[in-house]
């Protein structure tokens, strides 16, 4: 029995990295994403020779073919890292802080928070990151202020060997809807994402066994090799720098065509770009329904998101065939697919008796996003079967006892829509919990009978 090689990341995560690399290449030039990889030793030897940060900056500038004459280095007192600010600071949410300084695009300066000699690897990684950030800023790259995208550019341009040895992110923040790539600014690359970026860098240079790979830390080397094997075997990547194709401005016709390819990454990214000026034609509708039913979860999720996006401008896109496809996903094996399809189905007004029952069962789920999806869908209903109300009661008691207040507005909205006297119902429900009753009643008074918008943060 033969096993297909797999990347070290999910199709959704790898597609996002490939898309970002394509954005970078189309902004600063594909040639820069094919530059030789600079060894860790070469950079350390350069700095050790003169101990001059400007020499390192000049070297990186020559490597990139980028004018760095106006970049200045300034020293500053150590300060707390923040997620915002300049282009090259920014700590992570659940891990070590960021680099030892930041880049300030307004005057093209690198502000170091510590001397390079106190931690040479961190100091040199900061200088490299800042020069790459300057290149992105000077080319008006939209993501130049985002640490993760600068990190990708550093690795993609062959300058990531020192960064590979520095752990800046222990754990990325988790968000239930993986199709929302831009909901939260992300910190630096974590170890798994860094490994995939290295694999792309090797594969793009058509180098199956590069010497520099031996210098990778073991926790990065193993997943890098796994993904390199996958890429060499499948060529499944949206980012193809040797082809030097500008894809991001292609026509809708080309995006729809790209969505039919076998590559999972190309399908995911193409689906994210699909639009329609009016009703879908038969071929387009058939394609979307096919993607909804894909065995690949990332493809299915992004097809749901595409329908949501297009239907917000063209409600007629939510045809009966599309609605049936969404209904079939509300009891999918993957809970993210269940939640997202239920939310979109509710927005399209496509709930039937069976999906109302499914939404009610979601109220008992341990996963918060499933509870949210069930609540959101039920809140869209003017009435529900009587047996749903006790389920909502149990959900309300559970979230209040857990001091989890993110969902109570939706619950109160449901009571207002369904019950003639919601206040009396709540007073009876919490008659033995006087500590929770004021919160419940206050929430009921706040909410209106208007339908609640889909809150992405749930």
- Nearest-angstrom CA–CA distance, 359 and 391: 11
Query: How far, in Å, CA of 153 to CA of 66, rounded?
Result: 14
Task: Catalogue the long-range contacts made by 383-391 (C-beta closer than 8 Å, 24 or more residues apart).
Answer: 383/417, 383/418, 384/356, 384/360, 384/418, 385/356, 385/357, 385/360, 387/360, 388/356, 388/360, 389/418, 389/419, 391/360, 391/363, 391/364
CB 95 within 8 A of CB 165: no
* Cα gap 7→228, rounded to integer Å: 8
Is residue 216 located within the same domain as residue 258?
no
**Rounded Cα–Cα distance for residues 364 and 166 (Å):** 42
Considering the domain boundaries, does residue 202 fall inside one? yes
Q: Does a structural domain hold residue 438? A: no
CB atoms within 10 A of CB 197: 29
In this structure, are 208 and 229 located in the same domain? yes
- 434 within a domain of the structure (yes/no): no
Average of per-residue pLDDT across 87-116: 75
Q: Which of 307, 288, 455, 327 is nearest to 379 (CA)?
A: 455
Looking at the structure, tell me whether residues 65 and 175 fall in a common domain. yes
Measured on CA atoms in the order 323, 325, 327, 329, is the torsion positive or negative? negative
Show the domain range for 28: 11-239
pLDDT digits (tens, 9 = 90+) for 122-167: 999 999 999 999 999 999 999 999 999 999 999 999 999 999 999 9
Model-wide pTM > 0.75:
yes
267 found inside a domain? yes
Among candidate residues 100, 50, 104, the one with its CA nearest the CA of residue 72: 104
Structural tokens at position 201: 């860098």
Residues 155 and 281 placed together within one structural domain of the fold: no
Q: Which SS3 state, helix, strand or coil, does residue 142 take?
A: coil
Predicted confidence at residue 2, as pLDDT, reads: 56
Residue 102 structure tokens: 């930041």
Q: Angle at CA 64, nearest 5°, toward 61 and 66?
A: 55
CATH code of the domain covering residue 324? 1.25.10.10
Q: Which of 328, 350, 372 is the last residue of a domain?
A: 350
Q: Which position has the token pair 């039937």? A: 352
Joined tokens for residue 421: 């006297």
Which residues touch 45 (CB under 8 Å, ≥6 apart)?
none
Same structural domain, 159 and 302: no
Instruction: Give the Cβ contact number of residue 91 at 10 Å.
Output: 18
104, containing H or E segment:
strand 101-104
Residue 449 — very low, low, confident or very high, per pLDDT cuts 50/70/90? very low
pLDDT value for 51: 93
**Better-predicted residue by pLDDT, 362 or 3:** 362
CA distance 27 to 22: 9
CA atoms within 13 A on the CB side of 280: 24
Element (H, E) at 120: helix 120-138
Domain boundary among the residues 210, 239, 268 is at 239
Q: Are 220 and 179 within one domain?
A: yes
Q: Is residue 424 part of a domain?
A: no
Strands 72-75 and 109-112: parallel
Residues 235 and 297 in one domain: no
Cα 444 versus chain centre, distance: 34
Secondary structure letter of residue 226 according to DSSP: H
Q: What is the pLDDT of residues 297-337, one digit of tens each?
A: 999 999 999 999 999 988 888 899 999 999 999 999 999 99
Specify if 3 maps to a domain.
Answer: no
The token duo for 377 is 């869908």
Is 360 in contact with 368 (CB distance < 8 Å)? no
Question: How many residues are recorded in the chain?
Answer: 458
DSSP codes joined into one string, 292-351: HT-SSHHHHHHHHHHHHHHHHH-GGGS-HHHHHHHHTTTT-SSHHHHHHHHHHHHHTT--
- Residue 109 pairs in a beta bridge with 72, 104
Tokens of 244: 């030097």
What pLDDT digit, counting tens, does each position of 358-392 carry?
Answer: 999 999 999 999 999 999 999 999 999 999 999 99
One domain for residues 235 and 291: no
Beta-carbon count within 10 A of 387 CB = 9
> Residue 119 has what pLDDT?
95
Residue 186: band (very low, low, confident or very high) from pLDDT cuts 50, 70, 90: confident
Measured between alpha carbons, how far is residue 368 from residues 9, 44, 177, 329, 390 in Å? 24, 48, 12, 18, 19
Same-domain pairing of 204 and 262: no
Domain count, the chain: 2
One domain for residues 233 and 253:
no
d(CA 439, CA 217) in angstroms, rounded, equals 52
- Same structural domain for residues 248 and 229? no
Q: Residues 441-458: what's their mean pLDDT?
A: 60
Residue 213 belongs to some domain of the structure: yes
> Residue 306: its pLDDT value, please?
97
Q: What are phi and psi of 22, to 5 degrees?
A: -65, -40
* DSSP strand pairing (109-112 vs 101-104): antiparallel
Helix, strand, or coil here: 243?
helix
Residue 76's pLDDT band, with cuts at 50, 70 and 90, is: confident
Average pLDDT over residues 294-298: 97
Report the alpha-carbon distance of residue 351 to residue 345 in Å, rounded.
Answer: 6
Q: Under a CB-based contact definition with an 8 Å cutoff, are residues 14 and 265 in contact? A: yes
Q: How would you classify the pairing of strands 72-75 and 101-104?
A: unpaired
Which of 198, 221, 239 represents a domain boundary (last residue)?
A: 239
419 falls within a domain? no
53, 124: one domain: yes
Distance CA 266, CA 67 (A): 34
């Amino acid at each position: 029995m033969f096993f297909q090689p797999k990347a070290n990341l999910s199709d959704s995560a790898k597609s996002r990295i490939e898309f970002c690399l394509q954005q970078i290449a189309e902004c600063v030039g594909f040639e820069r994403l094919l530059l030789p990889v600079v060894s860790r030793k070469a950079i350390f030897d350069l700095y050790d020779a003169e101990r001059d940060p400007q020499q390192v900056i000049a070297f990186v500038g020559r490597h990139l073919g980028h004018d760095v004459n106006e970049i200045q280095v300034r020293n500053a007192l150590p300060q707390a890292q923040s997620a915002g600010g300049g282009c090259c600071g920014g700590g992570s949410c659940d891990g070590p802080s960021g680099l030892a300084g930041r880049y300030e695009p307004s005057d093209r300066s690198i502000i170091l928070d510590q001397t390079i000699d106190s931690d040479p690897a961190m100091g040199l990684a900061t200088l490299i990151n800042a020069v790459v950030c300057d290149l992105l800023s000077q080319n008006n790259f939209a993501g130049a202020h985002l640490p993760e995208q600068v990190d990708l550019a550093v690795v993609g341009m062959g300058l990531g060997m020192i960064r590979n040895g520095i752990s800046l992110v222990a754990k990325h923040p988790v968000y239930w809807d993986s199709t929302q790539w831009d909901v939260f600014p992300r910190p630096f690359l974590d170890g798994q994402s860094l490994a995939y970026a290295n694999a792309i860098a090797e594969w793009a240079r058509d180098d199956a066994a590069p010497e520099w790979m031996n210098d990778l830390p073991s926790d990065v080397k193993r997943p890098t090799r796994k993904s390199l094997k996958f890429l060499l075997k499948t060529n499944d990547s949206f980012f193809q720098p040797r082809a030097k194709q500008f894809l991001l401005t292609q026509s809708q016709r080309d995006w729809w065509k790209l969505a039919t390819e076998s590559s999972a990454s190309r399908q995911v990214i193409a689906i994210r770009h699909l639009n329609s000026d009016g009703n879908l034609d038969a071929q387009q509708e058939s394609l979307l329904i096919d993607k909804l039913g894909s065995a690949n979860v990332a493809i299915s999720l992004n097809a749901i998101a595409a329908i949501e996006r297009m239907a917000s401008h063209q409600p007629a896109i939510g045809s009966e065939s599309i609605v049936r496809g969404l209904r079939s996903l509300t009891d999918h094996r993957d809970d993210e697919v269940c939640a997202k399809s239920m939310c979109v189905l509710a927005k399209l007004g496509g709930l039937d008796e069976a999906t109302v029952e499914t939404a009610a069962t979601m109220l008992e789920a341990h996963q918060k996003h499933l509870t949210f999806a069930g609540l959101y869908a039920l809140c869209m209903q003017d009435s529900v079967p009587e047996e749903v109300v006790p389920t909502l009661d149990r959900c309300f008691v559970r979230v209040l006892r857990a001091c989890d207040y993110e969902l109570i507005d939706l619950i109160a909205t449901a009571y207002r829509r369904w019950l003639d006297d919601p206040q009396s119902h709540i007073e009876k429900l919490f008659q033995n919990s006087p500590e929770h009753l004021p919160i419940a009643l206050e929430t009921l008074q706040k909410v209106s009978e208007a339908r609640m918008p889909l809150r992405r943060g749930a």
